[in-house]
């Protein structure tokens, strides 16, 4: 074992955080935690992981769960395709693998939602087999350690980092070595405010020696997020709110929402609400009043969501005829917590609950 490896492993043994999935390194726990940690900060992932495992303690329980239970546990993490893939994979594991994650890289890669990184993390952390697990933290550590001067998202750079991570693993130490790199990136070799004096690898760090640490890793060219104006209407009738379940394909598939959509050019948000209700449900709404505006950012776009209250134009209107959803329900405000909504709509619900907005809607329109 090299001096660098020894220093890194010793630092991890002394400084690693107590995380729930590290206590037994169960394959199920490693899998769920790694999927949750994609695009999610650690403290939030721990909260969701504990709640998830309290409800779904093993693969068999996930396989038997209905989709809405899984979505509700996932609500707030976003990227619901990850939750959908967990459910699909659990069902495959119960059917074909006796309810266990396989300890073979190729078999893992065939499962829905398990890519190169997640497969490597499961193989190394759960089964302690000599596979690298290169996440953003590891990319940053290795780009600085070896002073890599090409953008980390370029294919040749990714291959270089992957090879470097593989070569760093001492035989039989993949679990600790990979986690040490991840932990170092999270706690010491941070994107900003790096603490090079506390780094166990500072004597070997090429970017520190060259004075280029702040320039590593080299980022990819920035991409501008698309800005989208949307409008939604909260329709109240006889004290209940109208919600609909999105189609099984497309963005936010199978989640619940208040009807709405993009504000078209030359259209006001209130006009968009009236049009969207007509197009999506064949319901005519009136008394459309602005309630609030919610802004929410996604990976590739930023949404400004204009929220309105409205009521049926005719008190005896017939049932909704759905064109952009699979089912609808009239629910009480207290029942909204039982349904999984996209992040923007959930943010809207929380805001209206905090400001007694729903009570005002019901008083005016219900």
User: Is-cis flag, bond preceding 217, omega within 30?
Assistant: yes
CA distances from 339 to 72, 150, 228, 243, 305 (A): 7, 45, 25, 10, 20
For strand 285-297 and strand 256-257, is the pairing parallel, antiparallel, or unpaired? unpaired
Residues 64, 159: Cα–Cα separation, whole Å: 39
Q: What residue has token string 């043994």?
A: 13
Instruction: Give catalytic residue positions.
Output: 34
Residues in Cβ contact with 40 at an 8 Å cutoff, skipping those fewer than 6 apart: 48, 77
Q: What residue has token string 């107590």?
A: 18
Contact criterion met (CB below 8 Å) for 330 and 283: no
The token pair that represents 101 in the structure block: 């994650």
Q: What phi, psi does 249 have (nearest 5°)?
A: -130, 165
CA distances from 363 to 84, 250, 309, 334 (A): 38, 35, 11, 16
DSSP string computed for 195-247: -GGG-TTTTT-HHHHHT-GGG-SBPPPP-PPEEEEEEEEEEEETTEEEEEEEP
Give the residue among 35, 343, 45, 25 at the shortest CA–CA distance from 186: 45
């Amino acid at each position: 074992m090299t001096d660098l490896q020894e220093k890194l492993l010793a630092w991890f043994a002394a400084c690693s955080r107590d995380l729930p999935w590290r206590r037994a390194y169960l394959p199920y726990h490693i899998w769920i935690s790694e999927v949750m940690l994609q695009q999610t900060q650690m403290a939030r992932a721990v909260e969701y992981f504990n709640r998830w495992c309290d409800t779904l303690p093993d693969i068999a329980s996930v396989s038997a769960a209905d989709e809405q239970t899984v979505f509700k546990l996932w609500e707030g993490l976003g990227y619901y395709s990850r939750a959908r893939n967990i459910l699909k994979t659990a069902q495959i594991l119960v059917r074909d693998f006796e309810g266990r994650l396989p300890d073979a890289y190729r078999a893992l890669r065939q499962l829905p939602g398990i890519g190169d990184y997640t497969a490597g993390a499961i193989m190394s952390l759960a089964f302690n087999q000599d596979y690298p697990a290169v996440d953003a933290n590891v990319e940053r550590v290795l780009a600085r350690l070896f002073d890599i001067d090409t953008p980390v998202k370029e294919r040749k750079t990714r291959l270089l980092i992957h090879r470097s991570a593989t070569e760093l693993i001492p035989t039989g130490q993949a679990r600790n070595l990979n986690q040490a790199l991840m932990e170092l990136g999270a706690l010491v070799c941070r994107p900003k405010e790096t603490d090079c004096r506390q780094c166990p690898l500072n004597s070997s760090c090429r970017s520190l020696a060259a004075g280029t640490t702040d320039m590593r890793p080299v980022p990819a060219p920035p991409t501008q997020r698309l800005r989208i104006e949307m409008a939604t209407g909260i329709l109240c009738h006889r004290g209940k709110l109208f919600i609909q379940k999105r189609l099984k394909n497309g963005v936010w598939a199978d989640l619940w929402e208040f009807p709405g959509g993009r504000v078209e050019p030359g259209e006001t948000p209130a006009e968009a609400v009236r049009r969207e209700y007509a197009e999506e449900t064949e319901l005519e709404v009136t008394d459309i009043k602005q309630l609030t505006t919610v802004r929410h950012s996604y990976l590739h776009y930023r949404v400004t969501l204009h929220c309105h209250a409205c009521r049926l134009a005719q008190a005896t209107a017939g049932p909704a005829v759905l064109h952009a959803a699979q089912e609808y329900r009239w629910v009480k405000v207290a029942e909204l917590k039982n349904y999984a909504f996209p992040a923007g709509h959930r943010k809207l619900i929380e805001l209206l609950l905090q400001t007694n907005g729903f009570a005002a809607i019901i008083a005016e329109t219900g």
